[in-house]
């Protein structure tokens, strides 16, 4: 059985910035530990737009450099942009400084391997082992007096340590390279007029303008909102966490479509022209059918949070649905194990392995447009035709760490109420990124969903 991780959650290490597990001191240790684990000589680091990113970037890159790694700083760039750069430049790994959908006061660090994919639980455990049990860095100076000029004697440990430091260089061109790569995926005939992109004042603020510039969107009425970041407004009343902002904008301005991203742009949700939300389940329904028609792959991986209607619709098309735990890296692991070419989450994390190695909001938006064109879909009728089961997600704030939550007792309560649902389910889990207990109830009858959600929330509060 895999040991419990102490620092890493479902999406890297995350905490309030400058406190807890997200201090410069820990970022430095994480940088050193990653290189000791990875043995890499070339690492690429990206970040979102949070005020604390520069602080953590300096510490993380210093830790990597102190272990001899050469570091390229890509600046503000989506997480999938680092994944793309790692593979394109044949780097040994990458890191992203971002707390994704969380508010500006949070931050996080997640690592990618040389394949551009997020690390497994076991790999993250190995990095933690280096942090908690490794010997001190041999390059560290002791408390005694030091010579003003290190000895140039070839046998001098100080001299060797002073030369065995990796270089840190800026690479601002990488975000443009990534965005042009995404633009080249877009079928010109699939481009739609009157589209808006909500950048959540996050990483996509740097990539969406390049995507527009290098596609037919530049010749049409294409708008961008929430792309004026100040370090404190990431995800603030915008992006996937506040879809009403985008939906209202689409309706008010009589637009055809709107795309919203999260802070690091590895997620996307869509507003149709009526201001209704096309979520990850509907996107998977569209892309699943499209990819099946292109390459015959008839498997789609979804998480335990996806609506049961998705399974029904895909089954009607001869496509098998596989479920996995929440988290896009678990989606990818299941895709690899099963040979599925598509997977994702209701929240908008979508991975199409033929095109990307991690959740990619911009890539998903482009593929969605391509699929709509090839399938001859009417975007405005997707939600009506999908006909999801009523579903309600309630979040309760945890008063203790998630490791101390008694899931055995909670599951007993779940079994007690599951008998009341003929065709539906109850699913309860702790969040891997926030101190929350998530309660999901799904059933054909909305009244029953609301009633059970309220009862369970009251019992578990």
Q: Are residues 427 and 314 in the same domain?
A: no
Q: Which domain holds residue 300?
A: 279-386
Assigned domain for 146 exists: no
- In whole angstroms, what is the distance from residue 448 CA to residue 31 CA? 49
Active site residue 100: yes
Q: Are residues 160 and 49 in the same domain?
A: yes
Asked which of 366, 386, 406 is the last residue of a domain, the reply is: 386
Q: Are residues 45 and 125 in the same domain?
A: yes
* pLDDT tens for each residue of the chain, 461 residues long: 458 889 998 889 999 999 999 999 999 999 999 999 999 999 999 999 999 999 999 999 999 999 999 999 999 999 999 999 999 999 999 999 999 999 999 999 999 999 999 999 999 999 999 999 854 443 333 333 444 445 555 555 665 566 689 999 999 999 999 999 999 999 999 999 999 999 999 999 999 999 999 999 999 999 999 999 999 999 999 999 999 999 999 999 999 999 999 999 999 999 999 999 999 999 999 999 999 999 999 999 999 889 999 999 999 999 999 999 988 889 999 999 999 999 999 999 999 999 999 999 999 999 999 999 999 999 999 999 999 889 899 998 888 776 778 888 888 888 888 877 877 888 888 887 778 889 999 888 889 899 899 999 988 87
Assigned domain for 116 exists: yes
Q: Are residues 314 and 207 in the same domain?
A: no
Q: Looking at 100, 347, 357, 453, which residue is catalytic?
A: 100
Q: Are residues 250 and 290 in the same domain?
A: no
Q: What are phi and psi of 261, to 5 degrees?
A: -115, 170
> What is the CATH number for 307?
3.40.120.10
DSSP code at position 345:
-
Q: Are residues 179 and 248 in the same domain?
A: yes
Q: Are residues 107 and 33 in the same domain?
A: yes
- In whole angstroms, what is the distance from residue 354 CA to residue 403 CA? 36
Of 124, 182, 178, residue with least CA distance to 330: 124
Q: Quick one: tokens of 414?
A: 């779940």
Q: Are residues 225 and 196 in the same domain?
A: yes
In total, how many domains does the chain have? 4
Please name the residue that has the structure tokens 């996107």: 283
- In whole angstroms, what is the distance from residue 359 CA to residue 81 CA? 10
pTM of the model as a whole:
0.86
End-to-end CA distance of the chain: give it in Å, rounded: 30
Q: Are residues 285 and 272 in the same domain?
A: no
Of 101, 100, 85, residue with least CA distance to 178: 85
Q: Are residues 30 and 161 in the same domain?
A: yes
Assigned domain for 161 exists: yes
Assigned domain for 401 exists: yes
Asked which of 228, 247, 277 is the last residue of a domain, the reply is: 277
Q: Are residues 342 and 289 in the same domain?
A: yes
Asked which of 249, 277, 305 is the last residue of a domain, the reply is: 277
Q: Are residues 423 and 283 in the same domain?
A: no
């Amino acid at each position: 059985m895999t040991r419990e991780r102490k620092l890493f959650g479902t999406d890297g290490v995350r905490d309030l910035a400058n406190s807890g597990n997200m201090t410069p001191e820990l970022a430095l240790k994480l940088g050193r530990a990653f290189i000791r684990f990875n043995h890499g000589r070339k690492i690429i680091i990206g970040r979102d737009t949070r005020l604390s990113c520069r602080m953590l970037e300096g510490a993380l890159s210093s830790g990597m450099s102190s272990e001899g790694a050469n570091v390229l700083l890509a600046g503000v760039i989506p997480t999938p942009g680092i994944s793309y750069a790692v593979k394109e430049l044949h780097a040994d790994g990458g890191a992203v400084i971002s707390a994704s959908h969380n508010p500006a006061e949070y931050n996080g660090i997640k690592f990618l391997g040389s394949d551009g994919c997020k690390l497994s639980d076991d790999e993250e455990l190995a990095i933690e082992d280096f942090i908690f049990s490794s010997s001190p860095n041999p390059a560290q100076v002791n408390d005694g007096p030091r010579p003003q000029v290190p000895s140039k004697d070839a046998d001098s440990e100080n001299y060797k340590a002073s030369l065995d430091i990796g270089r840190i260089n800026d690479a601002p061109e990488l975000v443009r390279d990534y965005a042009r790569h995404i633009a080249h995926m877009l079928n010109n005939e699939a481009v739609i007029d009157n589209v808006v992109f909500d950048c959540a004042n996050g990483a996509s603020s740097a990539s969406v303008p390049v995507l527009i510039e290098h596609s037919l969107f530049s010749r049409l009425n294409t708008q961008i909102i929430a792309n004026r970041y100040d370090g404190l407004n990431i995800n603030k009343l915008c992006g996937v966490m506040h879809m009403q902002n985008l939906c209202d904008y689409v309706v008010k301005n009589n637009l055809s479509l709107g795309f919203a991203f999260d802070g690091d742009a590895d997620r996307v949700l869509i507003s149709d022209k009526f201001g209704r939300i096309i979520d990850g389940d509907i996107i998977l329904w569209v892309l699943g059918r499209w990819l099946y028609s292109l390459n015959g792959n008839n498997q789609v991986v979804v998480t335990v949070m996806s609506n049961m209607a998705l399974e029904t619709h895909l089954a009607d098309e001869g496509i098998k649905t596989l479920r996995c735990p929440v988290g896009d890296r678990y989606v990818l692991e299941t895709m690899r194990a099963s040979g599925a070419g598509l997977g994702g989450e209701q929240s908008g994390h979508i991975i199409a392995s033929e095109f990307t190695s991690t959740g990619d909001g911009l890539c998903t938006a482009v593929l969605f447009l391509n699929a709509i064109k090839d399938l001859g879909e009417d975007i405005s009728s997707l939600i009506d035709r999908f006909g999801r089961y009523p579903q309600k997600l309630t979040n309760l704030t945890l008063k203790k760490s998630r490791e101390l939550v008694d899931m055995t007792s909670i599951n007993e309560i779940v079994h007690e109420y599951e008998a009341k649902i003929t065709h539906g389910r109850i699913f309860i889990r702790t969040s891997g990124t926030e101190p929350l207990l998530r309660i999901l109830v799904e059933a054909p009858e909305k009244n029953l969903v609301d009633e059970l959600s309220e009862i369970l929330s009251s019992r578990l509060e």
